[in-house]
């Protein structure tokens, strides 16, 4: 069925290093993909999205890469900071409006 999954459930990164969070998806019909950040006890916050006709998009300290050949999505966070500690979810939109989430990766930052 439709699914969005993640390769790594937890990721520990040294402060100042770059973080890479990966995601696999299974539905070729998805027209865009989104990364969300969720802090404990709160609702997810939008980070960045990418349309299916793109392979790279950059934001402030974040870059999302999309490889449709292998159905893989990644989020790169540059110069990781303590405030980046959270659970990160990828999600895909199945047209017209069905947004499906993956299982999440917890990012922890080592001082």
Q: If binding means CB under 8 A, how many residues of this protein chain bind another protein?
A: 24
User: Least CB distance from residue 1 to another protein, whole Å?
Assistant: 8
Instruction: Name, in order, each residue with C-beta under 8 angstroms of 25's C-beta and a sequence gap of 6 or more.
Output: 3, 4, 5, 33, 71, 72, 73, 90, 92, 102
Find the part of the chain contacting another protein (CB under 8 A) among 11-19, 58-66, 74-82, 88-96. Answer: 88-96
* Sites for another protein among residues 41-80 (CB under 8 A): 41-46, 49, 51
Kindly state whether residue 100 participates in binding another protein, applying the rule CB under 8 A: yes
- Beta bridge partners of residue 23, listed in sequence order: 73
Find the part of the chain contacting another protein (CB under 8 A) among 14-22, 60-68, 71-79, 100-108. Answer: 100-108
Q: Under the rule (CB under 8 A), what is the footprint of another protein?
A: 1-2, 32, 34, 41-46, 49, 51, 89, 91, 93, 96-104
């Amino acid at each position: 069925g439709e699914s969005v999954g993640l390769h790594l459930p937890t990721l520990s990164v040294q402060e100042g290093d770059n973080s890479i969070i990966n995601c696999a998806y299974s539905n070729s019909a998805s027209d865009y993909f989104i990364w969300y950040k969720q802090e404990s006890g709160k609702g997810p916050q939008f980070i960045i999205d990418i349309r299916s006709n793109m392979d790279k998009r950059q934001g402030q300290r974040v870059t999302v890469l999309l490889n449709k050949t292998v159905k893989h999505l990644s989020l790169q966070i540059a110069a990781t900071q303590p405030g980046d500690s959270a659970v990160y979810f990828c999600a895909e939109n199945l047209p017209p409006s069905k947004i499906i989430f993956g299982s999440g990766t917890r990012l922890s930052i080592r001082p």
